[in-house]
């Protein structure tokens, strides 16, 4: 699985990648960032099943919080 993400920044488009690979009884996640302080960076997480589920739940919660914060709440009448 790989999901490219794009955002605007100096020097053109920046993208990221995320891959998940089965590893033993768990999963190996690789997050690639093309430019972090001028250098590419890859974060590798090797998680067992329980850790992977907890990580997925935390990401989902963070994404939901971030999405909610982007919407302006109308004033109460």
Return the pLDDT at 26: 95
End-to-end CA distance of the chain: 46
| pLDDT score of 3 more than 60 | no
Where residue 1 falls among pLDDT bands split at 50, 70, 90? very low
Domain borders along the chain are 5-70
Return the pLDDT at 73: 74
Return the structure tokens found at 64.
């939901």
Give pLDDT tens digits for 14-70. 588 999 999 999 999 999 998 888 899 999 999 999 999 999 999 999 998 888 888
Residue 77 is classified by DSSP as -
């Amino acid at each position: 699985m790989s999901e490219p993400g794009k955002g605007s920044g100096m020097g053109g488009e920046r993208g990221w990648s995320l891959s998940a690979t089965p590893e033993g009884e768990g999963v190996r996640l690789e997050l690639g960032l093309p430019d972090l302080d001028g250098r590419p960076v890859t974060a590798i997480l090797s998680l067992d099943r329980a850790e992977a589920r907890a990580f997925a739940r935390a990401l989902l919660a963070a994404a939901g919080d971030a999405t909610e914060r982007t919407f302006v709440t109308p004033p109460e009448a």
